Amino acid sequence: MTSPGLDEALTAFAARRPLLVATDYDGVLAPLRDDPSAAVPQPGVAEVLSRLAAADGVTVALISGRGLDDLRRTSGLQGAFRWVGSHGAEFDGPLAGADAGRRDELAGVLRPLVEGTPGARLEVKPASVAVHVRQVADRVRAAGLLEQARQAVDPSLTLKPGKDVLEVAVTDAHKGAAVQRLVEELDVAAALYLGDDVTDEDAFRVLGPDHLTVKVGEGETVARHRVPGPEAVVGLLGALADRLG
Ligand X SMILES: O=P(O)(O)OC[C@H]1O[C@H](O[C@H]2O[C@H](CO)[C@@H](O)[C@H](O)[C@H]2O)[C@H](O)[C@@H](O)[C@@H]1O
User: What residues make contact with ligand X under the rule CB under 6 A?
Assistant: 24-27, 32-34, 36, 39, 64-66, 123, 125, 130, 132, 134, 162-165, 167, 197, 199
With respect to ligand X, which residue has the nearer C-beta, 14 or 91? 91
With respect to ligand X, which residue has the nearer C-beta, 130 or 182? 130
Q: Which of 209, 211, 202, 212 is nearest to 178 (CA)?
A: 202
- Residue 79's Cβ-side half-sphere holds a number of Cα atoms within 13 Å equal to 20
With respect to ligand X, which residue has the nearer C-beta, 36 or 41? 36
Sign of CA dihedral 123, 217, 119, 160: positive
Q: How far is the CB of 22 from ligand X (least distance, A)?
A: 12
With respect to ligand X, which residue has the nearer C-beta, 87 or 225? 87
Q: Which of 22, 39, 1, 2 is nearest to 165 (CA)?
A: 39
Distance, CA of 136 to CA of 147 (rounded, Å): 14
Q: How far is the CB of 66 from ligand X (least distance, A)?
A: 5
Q: How far is the CB of 167 from ligand X (least distance, A)?
A: 6
With respect to ligand X, which residue has the nearer C-beta, 122 or 152? 122
Residue 54 DSSP code: H
Length of the chain: 245
Q: Which of 131, 176, 150 is nearest to 159 (CA)?
A: 150
Sign of CA dihedral 181, 123, 42, 9: negative
Residue closest to ligand X (Cβ): 65
Distance, CA of 25 to CA of 104 (rounded, Å): 25
Alpha-carbon dihedral angle through residues 84, 87, 90, 92, given to the nearest 10 degrees: 40
With respect to ligand X, which residue has the nearer C-beta, 18 or 162? 162
Query: Rg of the chain's alpha carbons, rounded to an integer?
Result: 18
Omega before 18 cis (within 30°)? Answer: yes
Q: How far is the CB of 68 from ligand X (least distance, A)?
A: 11
Q: How far is the CB of 30 from ligand X (least distance, A)?
A: 7
With respect to ligand X, which residue has the nearer C-beta, 4 or 137? 137
Q: How far is the CB of 118 from ligand X (least distance, A)?
A: 16
Q: How far is the CB of 132 from ligand X (least distance, A)?
A: 5
